[in-house]
Amino acid sequence: MMSLETIIKGRVSQKSYTDQKVDRELVLKLLNTAVYAPNHKMRQPWRFIIIDGKARLDMQERYTKKIKPELKEKVDITFGKILKAPLIIAFVMPTNLDYDIEFEDIQANASVIQNFLLLAEEAGLSTHWKTPGFIKTDHFKAVLDVKNNELVAGLIMVGYADEKAHDKPRYPAETITTFYK
């Protein structure tokens, strides 16, 4: 069994994937564990949209056919990268007029996403968390059927790595930690 340290350090943002499909049941199983993330007042401020196989191309087509021509090249490049994964998960959260609640819910979403990334790593999958600018647009939200009072916290690419990305060094904790006196 892999140690948690190995799983945390092994998770890297993966750009390239094999064609191997990702089993939907496996993804649901991982999500069912990921939701044990901390969340204030048990609001469980999340839902998930799985976009796999041909649906990925449908999503791209529905989005790109209605955008301004000057944006098309940039959006095509971004979709080209995202669609390299055989499965994508949109993590969707409610917006809230109360900033404090929304702030907590964003953090809870980061927790559920990281849980998912680590569980995926343990299951032999690779992932990449992406937040392209267009996820905030009404048009993209409409394409995914995300409501006005929701936002897309992130798009998570999921698949099997062809050549696994390298990890990136971090600041040692000793250099960024102080002991309060």
Ligand X SMILES: Cc1cc2nc3c(=O)[nH]c(=O)nc-3n(C[C@H](O)[C@H](O)[C@H](O)COP(=O)(O)O)c2cc1C
Interacting residue ranges for ligand X, rule: CB under 6 A: 12-13, 129-132, 154, 165, 168
CB of 167 to ligand X, least distance (A): 6
3-state DSSP assignment of residue 83: coil
CB of 168 to ligand X, least distance (A): 5
CB 63 within 8 A of CB 16: no
Nearer to ligand X, 164 or 178 (CB): 164
CB of 43 to ligand X, least distance (A): 20
Nearer to ligand X, 52 or 121 (CB): 121
CB of 16 to ligand X, least distance (A): 12
Strands 47-52, 87-94: pairing kind: antiparallel
Gyration radius of the chain's alpha carbons: 17
Tell the burial category of 92 from Cβ atoms under 10 Å away from its Cβ (0-12, 13-18, 19+). Answer: buried
Nearer to ligand X, 12 or 101 (CB): 12
Nearer to ligand X, 24 or 131 (CB): 131
CB 123 within 8 A of CB 34: no
User: To which H or E segment does residue 55 belong?
Assistant: helix 54-64
